[in-house]
Structures are given as C-alpha cells and as structure tokens.
C-alpha cells in the first residue's frame, strides 16, 4: 500500500479518541493494524485513531509503526492498566507556528504568568484572577478541587480520604483512586495526541515545569473537573476492587471524551492560550497545503492546473 498524501488523511476531530491494547501482537495489513490476542484477531483502520495506547505484553512490528507514523496517529507506551506513561512516538507534524508562539510565551516571565492566569480563569468559571500571584492561584485551585472531591464523595456515597496511589502498585489503591489514575492517563494520551498534531511541545509547560509532559498536564487539568474526577466517583459507586477498574474507566472515559467533543475543545483552548491569530486558527482542521503566494490553502480540494 502506498503512503497516503497529506490531503487524504482524516481530520483528527473525526478520529476515535484513543484505543488501548495490552497482551497482544500488533502487525500491519494494508492500511490497517492487525491486533491479535488470546480472544482472536481484529483489524483497526489506524488513520481513524487519535492515540494508540500500548500496555504491557504488547509486541508491535516495525511495519505497523511505519504505518502509524504515516497516518499521523500518536503512540503512547503505558504501564499496566494504562496508568503510567513511559514513552511516546512522534506524530505527524507539518507546522511550527504553534510551537513558535508557545516558545515565545513561555520564555518571558510576564507572558508566562499571563497564560497561567488564563488557564486558572478557565477553571474558575471566568473569575477575575488578573491580580493573583502564582501562589494564590495554586491555593485557590487546591481549595476548589478539594471541595469538588468532597461534594462528589457525598453525592455518590463514596468514602474519600485523599489522593493516594502508587504507580507501581495500581491494585493496592481504593477504587476511586484506581479510576482517577486510569482516567487521567487516558486524558493525558488524548491531550498529547492533539498537541502532536498541532506541533506543540508537550514539555514546555506554563504551570507545570521540569517534565517532558508538563504542558500536557497543564491542559489536562482544564478538563478533569468535568470528566475524569466525576467519572471516578461514579465508577466507585458502582464497582468494586474485584472488577477490572482500569478497563471500565478507559471505556467510559472514551465515551465521555467523545460526547463532550473534547478534541475540538482542546484545539480551541490551545489556540486561545497560545494567542493564535484569527486568520491562523484551525477549527478541528489540522491539515493544510502550503502555497508560495497564499501561504496556506485548504486541503482535500482538487486543485487542477489552469
């Protein structure tokens, strides 16, 4: 099968948010990856996946990775139950305009604080935080999240003693903490896939710093209160430790991300935070064609010679 041209690739907003695979072999057949495990074999059209999460016991061929790279699908290697991110593969990127804006904003103290304030303002429902210091913002956020945990604990009748988990011992956590861990990693994978598609550095964070996924954590924190946190308490009220909490959480998280059209929201929020001008904004359309006169023209259009 020949490599797809850029104008033939699906928009990332049209793709499945993510697919998690563990204890399986991944190969390639034409334009699909073939996943085989003890239950059988399934073909997955890789161009329709935003992010592929590879868990323990997964063997993947070079040919499969070649196809995944050509299709612009992000690959994230994660731990058992999908609760730890070890590494990621390079996704398809053809523009540096987002990266340039990100680098400009994060390397200036004033603009970096301004972007951080914008992030917190988005979480605080439009509250004016223009005069808050970073310390005040963190304290305000801590209070908000603590209140949310307590409200959800009462609503669902789930005991909450605090965020307590060990990356190396997922099963030893209580159900709500297991669900939080699994849901958050799924969210990180989705945010990372959008950043990769836009050519944004996942490591240049404005609130978090010093980690290769700092900006992923920054952006994911914008959505946890509406997605993974309430989902974790809902799951804890319905399931017990004998259930496969990791799998249950990932499936429900995937549905929530799709229902809320989170990919589109992430694109819009990143453009707002990185101060992308109106004439450069993308509305879920990640691909374009360069023109020496017009600079950028729409993809997916037949430009016949005149």
Q: Is 211 annotated as a binding residue?
A: no
CB 191 within 8 A of CB 219: yes
Cα distance between residue 248 and residue 256, in whole Å: 12
Cα distance between residue 152 and residue 150, in whole Å: 6
* Assigned token pair, 107: 């390397």
CB 118 within 8 A of CB 130: no
Q: Parallel, antiparallel, or unpaired for β 32-37 and 24-29?
A: antiparallel
Cα distance between residue 300 and residue 259, in whole Å: 26
Q: Is 141 annotated as a binding residue?
A: yes
Cα distance between residue 126 and residue 114, in whole Å: 14
Q: Is 156 annotated as a binding residue?
A: no
Residues in binding site for Mn(2+): 141, 208, 221
Residues in binding site: 141, 208, 221
């Amino acid at each position: 099968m020949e490599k797809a041209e850029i104008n033939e690739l699906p928009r990332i907003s049209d793709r499945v948010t993510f697919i998690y695979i563990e204890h399986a072999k991944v190969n390639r057949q034409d334009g699909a990856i073939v996943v085989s495990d003890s239950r059988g074999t399934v073909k997955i059209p890789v161009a329709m996946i935003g992010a592929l999460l590879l868990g323990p016991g997964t063997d993947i061929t070079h040919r499969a990775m070649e196809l995944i790279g050509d299709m612009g699908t992000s690959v994230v290697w994660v731990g058992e139950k999908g609760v730890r991110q070890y590494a990621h593969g390079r996704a398809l990127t053809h523009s540096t305009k987002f990266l340039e804006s990100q680098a400009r904003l994060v390397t200036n103290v004033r603009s970096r604080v301004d972007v951080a304030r914008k992030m917190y303002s988005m979480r605080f429902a439009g509250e004016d935080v223009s005069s808050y210091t970073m310390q005040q913002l963190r304290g305000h956020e801590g209070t908000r999240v603590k209140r949310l945990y307590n409200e959800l604990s009462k609503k669902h009748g789930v005991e909450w003693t605090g965020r307590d988990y060990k990356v190396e011992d997922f099963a030893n956590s209580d159900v709500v903490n297991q669900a939080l861990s699994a849901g958050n990693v799924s969210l990180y994978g989705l945010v990372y896939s959008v950043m990769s598609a836009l050519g944004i550095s996942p490591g240049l964070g404005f609130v978090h710093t010093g980690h290769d996924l700092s900006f992923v954590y920054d952006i994911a924190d914008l959505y946890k209160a509406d997605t993974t946190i309430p989902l974790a308490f809902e799951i804890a009220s319905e399931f017990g430790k004998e259930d496969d909490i990791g799998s249950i959480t990932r499936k429900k998280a995937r549905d929530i991300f799709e229902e809320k059209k989170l990919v589109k929201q992430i694109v819009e929020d990143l453009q707002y935070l990185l101060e992308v001008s109106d004439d450069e904004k993308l509305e879920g359309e990640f691909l374009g064609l360069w023109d020496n006169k017009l600079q950028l023209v729409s993809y997916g259009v037949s430009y016949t010679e005149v």
